[in-house]
Chains A and B, each alone.
Chain A
Amino acid sequence: MSDPTPEQIRWQLAAMSRRRFLGRSGLALGGLALGPSLLAACGGDDGGGGGGGASAADFTPTTSDSLRISNWPYYIDEETVGLFEEASGLSVTYTEDIPDNEEYFARIREPLSRNQDVGADLFIVTDFLVARLIGLGWLAPLDDANIPNKGNLVDSLSDVGYDPDRRYSLPWFSGFTAIAYNPDLTGREITSINDLFDPEFAGRVTLFSDLRDGLGLVMLSDGNSPAEASLETVQAAVDKVAAAKDAGQIRRFTGNDYGDDFVAGNVAVTQAYSGDVATLKLDNPALEFVVPEEGMLTFADNMVMPLSTANSTGAEEWMNYIYDPANAARINTTAQFISPVEGVGELLPPELADNPLVNPPDDFRAAAVTWRALSDEEDQQYSALYADVARA
């Protein structure tokens, strides 16, 4: 073989040094090279950012052939999504990834503030969060023309302080927040929120760690209504809970997971949500939900669209579908809360239609209170006061 040409020598030298270099840190380079390409190959890019408008005022409708819905767990039946897909031709991704309002808000806050995609075209959160989002201007207005069934909304929910005329939200389900107890452990009937503070049940009581649900009920037990909440009444309730905590009255502050201890028989009296009762009773038929003499709270979870929604027409079509009483009734048989759709009561099976927690008569609704709208500063201040007791 003839002498190598200069090019060949250069190539060989390069090859040799490369080999040596690779020998030592080959693994590292390999990792670096493989890593990103692996990620790129596997990475599924979600739908693009920058939605239908920078603010509610100049929001332009968007449409696509897919619809992404985020909701709480166990809030829907098994057929509706499929049936809706058939009826609308849309491909629906229904994710149950909202276990807690504040957790969800913490996740979507950054993207929403930059008008970027939040992973959902429609999501369902509780009224106070809806109020906050409306105040921040991060929600897309509803086009009533696409939601003719909107008229089926029950009167009591059609005009709320945080969203007059329901421009941004439509209720999904509402419910009551009150007390539940285990007669086998209490030995007697429970009728009052103050029974939570009965020393007889020391260490076997749970309260909600949430400001509105947890502290709201305690305020009612003091005879103060959250509808007229003030710093004084809030502080009084906080002090009451703090004293009970120090005295060992309270076992635990819970979120939606109050059911664990309650069903297992670790807890005698607890704050509870009305829609959970039916399922709680399946595990322990003795458990009872109580409408206390001091009154109870009501809440509503609402469907809303973020400004960055990728399919506002699809979302509105979904809302319209839900507000058809037949569909609403179907969902209601599984998610046994209170439907906001008029006419559902007649379509429910008898045991649900007769259940005042699912199909409440008017005096029930009247006994229930909601918090007055709080300013952002008040919200934070009250939350901080209660969090120092319930979450610290």
Chain B
Amino acid sequence: MAGTAAAGTRRRITPYLLSLPALAYLAVFFVVPLWTLVRTSLSTSTGSVYDPTLEFNWEFANYSDAFSRYDTQIVRSFWYALAATLLALVLAYPLAYVLAFKSGRWKNALLGLVILPFFITFILRTLAWKTIFADDSIVTSFFELLGLTTNGRILSTQWAVIGGLTYNFLPFMILPIYVSIEKIDPRLLEAARDLYAGGTRTFRKVLLPLSLPGVIAGSLLTFIPAAGDFVNAQYLGGVNQAMVGTVIQSQFLVVKDYPMAAALSAVLMIIILVAVLIYTRVLGTEDLV
């Protein structure tokens, strides 16, 4: 019938048209700054210390320098981010499930509750945790009884930082998993049960695969920002909890070694991207996410 050719063309250019606004935006407000970052990472700083001229000369030594000087912090950041992501997953998944299937009329209200704590700024929440976990608080004493403290304290240890990361990124894990689970037809789960599948089998064979996109999205939205975070380490951590973000911050603001800060940022970004690629390949999704 008339119009299929036109419809076919429309079909073909539609995705490009839909992607165009976001891509155009990012081209200006992300790619350009990113390009500045990459250029700086391959430059050397000359001239005045505080108003330097950056000479671009393919200085790959910046990268090897960054890697060798701060390998401890790099590894540490990935460990913290991984731990926080796993913890968040364990906490978020059941809650997302309950929200999606078992909350009935209260669904939207509970969703609102999940995001509500984040309308109070990060610093207030973190200071509240500092109050809760103060060295002589009830909570800390309780944990001390369980033998879970280092030197009788929780603050200024790695678990305080990991806890802070987990807490602050929890909604980023809950919401994507929720939207993914909510889409599943509950009758699929009923059918599995009727076919004599037990709880774990249903979960493994039906629920998990169908909610996997949400799990992946949530993991990415948690792991990636967590790896580059530094504020949790700053407030909740002590001397041995500095993350890559801490170093980037100090190299940039205090030492003003802009090439080093940029190179370290680039190293962080590249490693995260590689990790993400491996993660999504392993989970067997046909495209990236």
A residues with CB within 8 A of B = 24-25, 28, 31-32, 102-103, 105-106, 109, 113, 132, 135-136, 203, 211, 245, 248, 250-253, 257, 260-261, 264-266, 376-377, 379-380, 383-384, 387-388, 391-392
- Known A136-B48, A203-B151, A266-B153; contact A392-B254, beta-carbon cutoff 8 A: no
Assess the A383–B254 pair: CB atoms within 8 A. yes
Point out the residue from B18, B70, B136, B255 that lies within 8 Å of A265, measured CB to CB. Answer: B136
Please name all residues of chain A whose beta carbon is closer than 8 Å to the beta carbon of B50 when the two chains form the complex.
Answer: 105, 109, 132, 135-136, 376
Assess the A251–B238 pair: CB atoms within 8 A. yes
Assess the A266–B246 pair: CB atoms within 8 A. no
Assess the A252–B254 pair: CB atoms within 8 A. no
Point out the residue from B14, B69, B156 that lies within 8 Å of A252, measured CB to CB. Answer: B156
Please name all residues of chain A whose beta carbon is closer than 8 Å to the beta carbon of B14 when the two chains form the complex.
Answer: 24
- Known A136-B51, A376-B50; contact A251-B255, beta-carbon cutoff 8 A: no
Assess the B242–A32 pair: CB atoms within 8 A. no
Query: CA separation between A113 and B18, bound complex, in Å?
Result: 40
B residues with CB within 8 A of A = 10, 14, 17-18, 20-21, 48-51, 69-70, 73, 127, 130-131, 134-136, 151, 153, 155-156, 235, 237-240, 242, 246-247, 249-257
Q: 10 shortest A-B CB distances, which residue pairs? A: A391-B250, A376-B49, A384-B255, A266-B135, A28-B21, A102-B253, A264-B134, A387-B250, A392-B247, A380-B49
Closest B residue, CB atoms, query A385? B255
Please name all residues of chain B whose beta carbon is closer than 8 Å to the beta carbon of A25 when the two chains form the complex.
Answer: 17-18
Point out the residue from A105, A250, A265 that lies within 8 Å of B135, measured CB to CB. Answer: A265
User: Mind listing 10 A-B residue pairs with CB under 8 Å?
Assistant: A24-B14, A25-B17, A31-B21, A109-B50, A252-B239, A253-B239, A380-B257, A384-B255, A387-B254, A392-B246
Assess the B254–A391 pair: CB atoms within 8 A. yes
- Known A102-B254, A245-B239, A253-B239; contact A113-B130, beta-carbon cutoff 8 A: no
Query: CA separation between A160 and B155, bound complex, in Å?
Result: 42
CB distance from B207 to the nearest CB of A (A): 33
Query: CA separation between A388 and B257, bound complex, in Å?
Result: 12
CB distance from B3 to the nearest CB of A (A): 11
User: What is the predominant secondary structure among interface residues of chain A facing chain B?
Assistant: helix
CB distance from B139 to the nearest CB of A (A): 13
CB distance from A218 to the nearest CB of B (A): 15
Assess the B17–A28 pair: CB atoms within 8 A. yes
Closest B residue, CB atoms, query A132? B50
- Known A24-B14, A266-B135, A376-B49; contact A391-B156, beta-carbon cutoff 8 A: no
Please name all residues of chain A whose beta carbon is closer than 8 Å to the beta carbon of B240 when the two chains form the complex.
Answer: 245
Please name all residues of chain B whose beta carbon is closer than 8 Å to the beta carbon of A105 when the two chains form the complex.
Answer: 50
Assess the B251–A387 pair: CB atoms within 8 A. yes
Closest A residue, CB atoms, query B45? A380
Query: CA separation between A102 and B257, bound complex, in Å?
Result: 13
CB distance from B137 to the nearest CB of A (A): 9
Please name all residues of chain A whose beta carbon is closer than 8 Å to the beta carbon of B153 when the two chains form the complex.
Answer: 203, 266
CB distance from A82 to the nearest CB of B (A): 28
Please name all residues of chain B whose beta carbon is closer than 8 Å to the beta carbon of A211 when the two chains form the complex.
Answer: 254
Please name all residues of chain A whose beta carbon is closer than 8 Å to the beta carbon of B10 when the two chains form the complex.
Answer: 24
Closest A residue, CB atoms, query B14? A24
Assess the B20–A391 pair: CB atoms within 8 A. no
CB distance from B158 to the nearest CB of A (A): 14
- Known A103-B253, A136-B50, A260-B130; contact A24-B17, beta-carbon cutoff 8 A: yes
Point out the residue from B20, B239, B246, B256 that lies within 8 Å of A380, measured CB to CB. Answer: B256
Assess the B51–A387 pair: CB atoms within 8 A. no
Query: CA separation between A109 and B258, bound complex, in Å?
Result: 13
Assess the B238–A252 pair: CB atoms within 8 A. yes
Assess the B135–A264 pair: CB atoms within 8 A. yes
Assess the A266–B151 pair: CB atoms within 8 A. no
Query: CA separation between A28 and B151, bound complex, in Å?
Result: 56
CB distance from A379 to the nearest CB of B (A): 7
Query: CA separation between A31 and B20, bound complex, in Å?
Result: 12
Please name all residues of chain B whose beta carbon is closer than 8 Å to the beta carbon of A383 when the two chains form the complex.
Answer: 254-256
Query: CA separation between A376 and B218, bound complex, in Å?
Result: 46
Assess the B238–A377 pair: CB atoms within 8 A. no
Query: CA separation between A380 and B258, bound complex, in Å?
Result: 12
Please name all residues of chain B whose beta carbon is closer than 8 Å to the beta carbon of A264 when the two chains form the complex.
Answer: 130-131, 134-135
CB distance from B277 to the nearest CB of A (A): 28
User: What 15 new A-B contacts, CB under 8 Å, besides A25-B17, A109-B50?
Assistant: A102-B253, A102-B254, A105-B50, A106-B252, A211-B254, A250-B239, A252-B237, A253-B239, A257-B235, A260-B127, A264-B130, A264-B134, A265-B134, A380-B257, A391-B242
Query: CA separation between A257 and B123, bound complex, in Å?
Result: 12
Query: CA separation between A109 and B253, bound complex, in Å?
Result: 11
Please name all residues of chain B whose beta carbon is closer than 8 Å to the beta carbon of A379 when the two chains form the complex.
Answer: 49
Q: Which of A245, A265, A387 has the most CB of B within 10 A?
A: A387
Assess the A32–B21 pair: CB atoms within 8 A. yes
Closest A residue, CB atoms, query B20? A28
Closest B residue, CB atoms, query A107? B253
- Known A380-B49, A384-B255, A392-B247; contact A266-B155, beta-carbon cutoff 8 A: yes
CB distance from B70 to the nearest CB of A (A): 7
Q: Which of B48, B50, B240, B242 has the most CB of A within 10 A?
A: B50
